[in-house]
Amino acid sequence: MSHILHLGHQVTDLAGVEGRISADAAGFDADLDVNCIRINTGETSAVPFSASWALPAGDVWLRFRYKAPSINAHIIGTDGTFLEFYDTANALVAIVRTERDDEKYHAMAVGGTSVDGASSFVAATNQVYWIDVKIAVGADITIEFYADGVLQSSATAANAGGKGRPVRCVWKNYGLFDFYNPAICYYAHIAVLEGVSTIGRRFARRTPDLVATYDAFSGEVDAVKDGDIATRAESDIAGPRMSFSLAGPTGPAGASAIAGVHVKQLAQLGTAGPTGVAGFLRIGGVDYDASPGTPSPDMASPVYSTWDVNPADSTPWITAASPTEVGIVSS
């Protein structure tokens, strides 16, 4: 069972980022990816985008890299909104907001009443931060807001309305700086985990490159590496496999250990045929299949497969032994 709820900041991962994907090196960590989201926004003009995920059973942790606005990020010109979290009923559960009076980012829990947390975080102009947010929902709603691993603001409100755990985050991009001219800010490396702290974690995105041992899906590897949701690899029976080598960053320089390996695929059920799909790793000529997931029949939906240890010998992953061939299998 994967603890991954969401990974990625590409057009196929998020809503509202079309035309905003940028290769500007200022906006991302080149050890982890090859692009970022570039937002050009006015002082009081919201430029939202969002990520959605399946209903979690535990606490939700969100992490991303944020480069603060290029103009007057240390001055907040109006009360604004950085992040909003919603449950399955589209009810607002929690907020990270900006406040003009103290020019800080505040966590706010939204239960029967809204409770605003004190804050110690002022964003510096053009400064890069790793942001983590934890949200716990039960009899109370609690939100914790971290910057660079340090708790900056937290708030707890009684959950009088019976709200659920969040399944969507909106990056509102409203009121983050004080100036009449537009400013630029950047986002990258978005991850959402269930019941596992995101603090200190990095996720390197590797993508399909060349066909490897298996090529039994129609559409071939080109259909899954072009970033176009309309071009697909397909299988109308259970059992066929497709595998490929990987391209892209391999993680932070000097890293000696890997916490886990994850295969993400966007998949959709057909009107007949297989009812599931799984990721697999091929190591030393042996296939190691994850448990299959069941995609939506209505739209392409993410299916995650996770290996916390090397399945070949059940030992912790090390950089030298990270898999070089991965694939998908219909079931």
Residue 227: the pLDDT is 82
Angle value at C-alpha 301, between 295 and 303, nearest 5 degrees: 65
Answer whether residue 1 shows pLDDT above 70: no
Which tokens is 261 given? 């390996």
CA dist 61 and 81 (Å) reads: 19
Percent of the chain with pLDDT over 90: 86
Answer whether residue 161 shows pLDDT above 70: yes
Percent of the chain with pLDDT over 70: 100
Residue 101: the pLDDT is 96
Residue 318: the pLDDT is 87
Angle value at C-alpha 196, between 96 and 18, nearest 5 degrees: 55
Answer whether residue 127 shows pLDDT above 60: yes
CA atoms in the 13 A half-sphere facing the CB of 252: 10
Residue 305: the pLDDT is 96
Tell me the CA end-to-end span of the chain in Å, nearest whole number.
Answer: 17
Closest CA to 74 of 147, 127, 123, 129: 123
Question: By three-state DSSP, how is residue 224 classified?
Answer: helix
For residues 156-166, give the mean pLDDT: 97
For residues 275-288, give the mean pLDDT: 96
CA dist 317 and 310 (Å) reads: 5
Write down the pTM of the prediction: 0.96
| Sign of the dihedral defined by the CA atoms of residues 74, 156, 203, 329, in that order | negative
CA dist 209 and 222 (Å) reads: 8
Closest CA to 186 of 206, 201, 207, 171: 171
